[in-house]
Amino acid sequence: MVKSKENLFGAYAFLIGVILAILVGILQTTLDIRTSSLPYILLVFLGIGVGLFNFDDRDSFTFLVASLSLVIVSGFGQTALVYVSKVPILSSLSDILAALMVMFVPATIIVALKTVFSIANIK
């Protein structure tokens, strides 16, 4: 199976974005990087890259269901973890969920719009 360069770019953007989100979440508590918005801007651009270049029509539904559940769980998980934020590991988990949401929300919006336009046969 031959992979196009667009899929390869999207796959690398996804992998780098997840690793960066985990690192940002872990380092946010320990190094207090909340003052720097550069990692979050990078996560948004990686999310846009994931949404634009990674998914064709057959994979869109799977991605949308997975990312929708991740965004919902991340949103509710952050509010649930506020109560136990004194524990450093759980505080980092909340920050990781927030960073993942920063990447997945733009990707989910783009894939959803591409899917809607595909259903409407607008090219």
| CA–CA gap between residue 104 and residue 108 (Å, rounded) | 6
How high is the pLDDT of residue 122?
Answer: 60
How high is the pLDDT of residue 19?
Answer: 92
Give the model confidence (pLDDT) of 18-76 as tens digits: 899 888 888 876 666 556 778 889 999 988 988 887 767 777 888 888 888 888 887 77
Nearest-10 Cα torsion for 98, 52, 4, 40: -30
Q: Please state the domain extents for the chain.
A: 5-118
How high is the pLDDT of residue 1?
Answer: 40
How high is the pLDDT of residue 14?
Answer: 83
Which tokens in the block code for residue 59? 């994979």
How high is the pLDDT of residue 68?
Answer: 84
Predicted confidence (pLDDT) at residue 2 exceeds the cutoff of 50: no
What's the pTM value of the predicted model, to 2 decimals?
0.78
Predicted confidence (pLDDT) at residue 4 exceeds the cutoff of 70: no
| CA–CA gap between residue 117 and residue 123 (Å, rounded) | 7
Mean pLDDT score across all residues of the chain: 78
Q: At what angle do helices 38-53 and 88-119 cross, to 10 degrees?
A: 30
Closest by alpha carbon to 100, among 38, 55, 39, 30? 39
